[in-house]
Amino acid sequence: MPISAAETIAFEVLIAWKRKGAYASDVLHAELGASVNGRMRRWHRMTLGVLRWRRLLDFLIERQ
């Protein structure tokens, strides 16, 4: 299954956030620009949700 542009952008946003301390929403808006479609909006929400709930997700993953 090929990787979509939305998935690539979500990955790049998470990398920029982790390595550079960039604000995820700023990177997302810069990457997406005017080319936002429904699928990209879903990835946008998912990416920000992962960052918002990161501590809980890390905790749950560590318990496995």
How do the domains of the chain map onto residue ranges?
5-63
Environment class of residue 9 by beta-carbon count within 10 Å: exposed (0-12), middle (13-18) or buried (19+)?
buried
pTM comes to 0.57
Q: In this structure, are residues 28 and 13 in contact, taking their beta carbons and an 8 Å threshold?
A: yes
Distance CA 21, CA 5 (A): 23
What digits encode the pLDDT tens for the residues 24-37?
A: 777 777 776 666 67
pLDDT digits (tens, 9 = 90+) for 7-60: 787 788 788 888 888 787 777 777 766 666 777 777 778 878 888 888 888 888
